[in-house]
Amino acid sequence: MTTLVEQRRAQAPAAGGPPSTVRRDVQVLRAVAVAAVVVFHLWPQRLPGGYVGVDVFFVISGFLITSHLLRRPPTSLRGLAEFWGRRVRRLLPAACVVLVVTALASLVLLPSGLLAQAAHEVLASAFSVENWSLARQATDYLAAESTPSPVQHFWSLGVEEQFYLLWPVLLGALALLGRRISRPQLVARLGIMAVVVASFLTSVLVTADDPARAYFVTTTRMWELGLGGLVALAGTGLRAPGWVRATLAWAGLAAIAWAALRFGADTPFPGVAALLPTVGTALVVVAATDDVRGGPSALLGGRPVVGLGDVSYSVYLWHWPLVVLLPFLVGDLLDLPLAVGVVVTTLLLAAASKRFVEDRFRTARVLRGSLPRTGALLAAGTVLSAGVALGVHTVAEHRASAEQAVLAQARAGDVPCFGAEAARDPGCDLVGDRLLMGPTAAALDRSELYADGCWNNAPFATRNTCTYGSEHPTRTIALLGNSHAGQWEPALVGQVERNGWQLRTFVASECYTVDVPLHFPSAQEAEGCSAWNDWAVQSVLDLDPDLVVMSNRTLVPLEGVSDDEHAAVAQAAYARVLDRLTAHGIPVLVLRDTPAAHENAPDCVARERGGWRDCVTPADVALEPDPLSAAARQDPSGLVSVADLSDMICRDGVCHDVVGGVLVYFDHGHLTRTFAETLRPEVEAAVSARLQG
């Protein structure tokens, strides 16, 4: 997840100064940044903070573009058009080629569910708004955990292209104002500083409240490009001894390396943390050590590194589609040989793209001498990318409809050994010799709770509940927990409706039912989860149901609790919640948490192309500790019982993604609605037994 790279062959060290030849130190920065991103995507455990390569690129781009605009401020509509025309010729052709090729490859390799998502994101990328599309998805708990599309990396290009659209307008306006008052440098400096400060404060605030969204939106990233603009304003002719400049440059590279090695998924980002790689990049640029012995340019600026920096834009464009699509081509996850193959193929494609696409269009006389022809290129590239995306989406919808028809026929007919029936009947093949639910149908096959808006998602400010069954029930059941409680609704609602009972839901994503704070990325989410849990338990007590059905995945860390102590502290917290319920005489049925697949189950089934029997997870890995069921088994009240249905999914030391021709999960570990419905006999028996005491 890096950004667009300005590949211009000339650079001005300061506003108004003469252009210099290509700077090796900038090329070194580009090479370091793109290498960090590629390593992060292929071996995230090795470089958990490699995503900071995006921030390095943002600063470089802001520096280069601002330097150019300060030399030639676009103070007229034609000046703006000429600037945008250069951006189009430089960036659009290679991006368009990658989008079209990736969309067509996805058509061959991806299941229809992922294909539809890829088509949607190709369309968003064609109009340079992929970052906003991903920001919307990032706030959706289930979407955030889904398999990424092969064009997700275009988010950062969207940020930069929006910057390229707005920045010349700002600098042009500042230039006109500066001329009017005869203080052009002061006006430019104050204007850019205002943008940087406002965007940085926005980044800090949004990262604290909504880090998933903050990562993608332009408003939280603009300051990083603006920081490069401030460097351009200050100029890079630092008047200091060579050893001082070399020290600054090495310190900047060390800051980038530290961030890449020490940051990780839990680092609130961008926010304040982004200062480390961005300021580090600024130090390298300001130091300008190409003429300094012992500087990074002298030691790192050899031909291979500079060459990688020169093709870094194309490397970035090509590497991510290969990371996503290659497993579907070879039918296996990326191991070391395949990962090395991704690197080699990326470099070959990048070299070809640079030579035959980027350079050809950037230097084409027929385009450089005509703004209308450049505009036509923009229109043609956008229409082509968008048209291919719409066509691919249509195909995906047809494939999804066909899968849904097969599933509907299987559900409506008397199909032997269907779903969990295969686990009950010793005469059945547990997995099934036919796939009656395709991966796309499975990805959409969710509990009604999702469509009915029953969830309370981060930051847990809502108090949504749903009611199923009779308006005048003879018995009431409360369903309490997080998404691993909500997945049981299809197994419960049949018995509820047949008997004239009522089911009330109290469910929240991720937030499991304990009386101690959970550690979320933001304080708002942590406080919201605690408040929601207090409300949910009290609401259940006020409802005074005939039965509480509880289930949770106890995954999110507890605040201030080490990993070693997590299970014990969570079990004690669950025990206190159970005590509150049983003290009021309310019986509780705990459904032991279901096994977790080692990857997204529909994706595995799609990748295996008929070999879905290989989509399994070792039982000792899939059966995660469940402190709730452990607390329930030790409850002394006699009002709590536990139902463990793991043997309906796991046999002989492995847990299956497919049972009886039906996908067990619609993602990495939430039951599909269909499979949950086939578990009704076991669940209904456990409910009846608990109600009867």
Residue 10 above 50 pLDDT?
no
Reported confidence tier of residue 348, pLDDT bands at 50, 70, 90: very high
pLDDT tens-place string over residues 255-268:
999 999 999 988 99
456, 648 contact by CB (below 8 A): no
Whole-number Å distance between alpha carbons of 341 and 673: 39
pLDDT tops 50 at residue 9: no
What's the chain's average pLDDT? 90
**What pLDDT is attached to residue 8?**
33
pLDDT at 98 over 80: yes
Structure tokens belonging to residue 454: 């029953």
Taking only the tens place, the pLDDT of each residue in 166-221 is 999 999 999 888 888 888 788 888 999 999 999 999 999 999 888 889 999 999 99
Q: pLDDT value at position 144?
A: 52
Q: What is the pLDDT of residue 211?
A: 86
- Give the residue-averaged pLDDT of 449-468: 93
Query: Are the beta carbons of 207 and 270 closer than 8 angstroms?
Result: yes
- pLDDT, average across residues 86-100: 94
Shortest CA distance to 124 belongs to which of 90, 157, 165, 147?
157
Query: What is Dmax (Cα atoms) for the chain?
Result: 90
Find which of 80-89, 286-295, 619-628 is predicted with most confidence, using mean pLDDT.
619-628
Hey, what are 190's tokens? 């104050």
- Separation between Cα atoms, residue 103 and residue 115, nearest integer Å: 8
pLDDT category at 609 given cuts 50, 70, 90 is low
Q: How confident is the model at residue 1 (pLDDT cuts 50, 70, 90)?
A: very low
pLDDT in tens, 535-578: 999 999 999 999 999 999 999 999 999 999 999 999 999 999 99
Q: Given pLDDT bands bounded at 50, 70 and 90, which one contains residue 475? A: very high
Contact 117, 389 (CB under 8 A): no
Q: What is the pLDDT of residue 143?
A: 54
Q: Averaged over 276-284, what is the pLDDT?
A: 96
pLDDT in tens, 359-370: 999 888 888 878
Task: Give pLDDT, residue 139.
Answer: 57
Q: What is the DSSP string of 415-458?
A: -TT-TTHHHH-TTS-SS-SS--S-HHHHHH---HHHHTT-EE-T
pLDDT tens digits, one per residue of 650-673: 999 999 999 999 999 999 899 999
Sorting pLDDT into bands at 50, 70 and 90, what band is 21?
low
**Pair of tokens at residue 189:** 């400096």
Per-residue pLDDT band at 454 (split at 50, 70, 90): very high
List where CATH 3.40.50.1110 sits in the chain.
414-691
Compute the distance between CA of residue 80 and CA of residue 425 in angstroms, rounded to an integer: 72
pLDDT digits (tens, 9 = 90+) for 124-145: 999 999 999 999 887 554 455 5
What architecture does CATH give domain 414-691? 3-Layer(aba) Sandwich (3.40)
Q: 242: pLDDT confidence band, cut at 50, 70 and 90?
A: confident
pLDDT, tens digit, 9 for 90 and up, residues 414-437: 789 999 999 999 999 999 888 899
Q: Alpha-carbon distance 81 to 54, whole Å?
A: 27
**Res 610: pLDDT:** 64
Task: Give the separation between CA 33 and CA 44, rounded to whole angstroms.
Answer: 15
pLDDT at 600 over 70: yes
Q: What angle do CA 15, 21, 24 make, to 5 degrees?
A: 105
What percent of the chain is predicted at pLDDT more than 70?
A: 95
